[in-house]
Structure 1
Amino acid sequence: MDIREIQNLIKFVAKSGATEVKLEMDDIKITIKTTEAGAAENTTYVQHMPMGQPMQQQSFAPQAPAAAQQAPATPAAPAADDNSKYITIKSPIIGTLYRKPSPDKPVFVEVGSTISKGDVVCVIEAMKLFNEIESEVSGKIVKVLIDDASPVEFDQPLFLVDPS
């Protein structure tokens, strides 16, 4: 679809009196929104979809088990001799970390908590999906490295675990 066809589509929608039109084709998604019928202001969004990737529907449920990802556990960097015996649980995705399942519930883990492999240690919200972050190691939480409702980056350390 070229720019001339898009312009003709905008004019057609404006004349028809429709307030919103969505058009999806193979590699293009177009949304045209107009204000009141006959108004001059139009808003058009054109989004090119990557070829070869199916469009995925996203769930807005607070817990999405199919989308739950596990945090990779790797030995902590030997920056301090103190922390070299601990295992670091790192963020597998970019998003906002929450230490509680909801604001009125207690935190998943605290310093001193004993965790087992597969226990949920936090959730990370990414694009309205809440991903449960599970521990890949068993042990005791010795340090929480991030605050509740804080943004996190990929591979950012979240917790230090003593595996002994």
Structure 2
Amino acid sequence: MNLAELKKLIEMFDNSDIARLSLKQSDFEIKLDKQPGYIQSTPIVNTQIIPSESSIPTQTISSTPVSSSGSEKGDFITSPMVGTFYRCPSPDSAPYINVGDTVKKGQTIGIIEAMKIMNEIEAEYDCKIIAIEVNDSQPVEFGSRLIKVEKI
């Protein structure tokens, strides 16, 4: 569950007549209660609870990318689906691409596993890899920035 979904859930909870809400998905669990001061959650790795102005908690999930470009501008290869991103074809193999590599249109840059199906992600154009924005084995969503590139 991403931050936008959590905020929407909390907003809907806050505007409802429901006094308590408990939600569990895989390794993530959140419990909401309209009683002031009540916060209980079982977070996944790299999760932080950030207090908001209301008594309802807000939660963000953060991760450190392999190589951060430090810029929000530029061209990116984005995820076409929700799943888990892998940089290598197998755990003991070399990554498909590294920062500084030049790739051709149609070349595989990674894999996204969705529902036990491995989907190869290909470069949409000839480009140079500027930064890898996600870690190996990191969950990604539709539209997540995977690789920052410079078109050639």
Question: Structure 1-normalised TM-score?
Answer: 0.48
Aligned to 2:99: 111
When you count helix as a share of all residues, which structure comes out higher?
A: 1
1:100 to 88, 94, 111: 88
Alignment pair present for 1:140 and 2:128: yes
Distance change in 2, residues 1:137/1:104 (3 Å): same
Distance change in 2, residues 1:162/1:126 (3 Å): same
Deviations 1:31-63 (A, max 9, x none): xxxxxxxxxxxxxxxxxxxxxxxxxxxxxxxxx
Using the alignment, how far apart are the partners of 2:84 and 2:71 within structure 1?
Answer: 28
Name the larger-Rg structure.
Answer: 1
Q: Which runs of 5+ in 1 are unaligned?
A: 1-79
**What percentage of residue pairs aligned between the two structures are identical?**
42
Using the alignment, how far apart are the partners of 2:102 and 2:151 within structure 1?
Answer: 10
2:111 to 117, 123, 126: 123
The alpha-carbon deviation at position 82 of structure 1 amounts to 5.4
Distance change in 2, residues 1:113/1:156 (3 Å): same
| Number of residue-to-residue matches in the alignment | 84
TM-align CA RMSD: 1.8
Deviations 1:50-108 (A, max 9, x none): xxxxxxxxxxxxxxxxxxxxxxxxxxxxxx99553x31100000000000000110000
SS in structure 2 of the partner of residue 162 of structure 1: strand
The alpha-carbon deviation at position 154 of structure 1 amounts to 0.5
Using the alignment, how far apart are the partners of 2:101 and 2:113 within structure 1?
Answer: 23
Matches within 5 A, 1:52-131: 84=73, 86-131=74-119
Distance change in 2, residues 1:82/1:119 (3 Å): same
Aligned to 2:150: 162
Q: Which runs of 5+ in 2 are unaligned?
A: 1-68
Moved over 4 A (4+): 80-83
Alignment pair present for 1:150 and 2:143: no
